[in-house]
Amino acid sequence: MCGIQVTFIQNFKNMADLKHRVEIKSSAEKVFQAITTKKGLESWWTSDVEIDDVKKEYTFGFGRHSIFIIMKVEKEVPGEYVGWKCYGELEEWMDTRLIFEILDGKAGVIELNFTHANWKSTDGSFSKCKTDWGHLMYYLKDYTEGRNHSALMGG
């Protein structure tokens, strides 16, 4: 087993959810920091990250700074949970949510359940995002297990 499971779910409000489950040989705290700090996010997602602690917002740049996505923090529980609501320039991402659930697993392994929820449609970029998130989960896993490389997506 490769340690990653992908699920597609159509929820009750006719919204689509992307789900990935990843087993990571690391601590819950390290995974949480990889998701909530500039250094962590730049190590596996994109090299263009800004965090506004006052507004509780993360801004991610893509395509040489031509596209920006803003994530508003809805809930963060250190070592356990990160929930963001999406805003910004990608219409398909508007009002979607990113949810990272960090669970204790067997000795030395945590389970990360990731959901990109509330897609209005499975048309457009949904399929590409499903693939991209799968790759990103491997990058996050590698980073938190000590295999460092640059972010998958440049700024």
Give the pLDDT of residue 3: 57
The full set of domain ranges for the chain reads 4-47+75-85+92-144
Which pTM value belongs to this model?
0.87
Alpha-carbon span 138 to 13, nearest angstrom: 30
pLDDT digits (tens, 9 = 90+) for 22-74: 999 999 999 999 999 999 999 999 989 999 999 999 999 887 777 889 999 99
At 1 the pLDDT is 43
CATH tag, 4-47+75-85+92-144: 3.30.530.20
CA nearest neighbour of 133 among 17, 38, 37, 27:
17
Q: What is the model's pLDDT at position 28?
A: 96
- Token pair of 89 as six digits: 């320039």
Are 104 and 94 a contacting pair, CB within 8 Å? no
Is 112:31 a contact under the CB 8 Å cutoff? Answer: yes
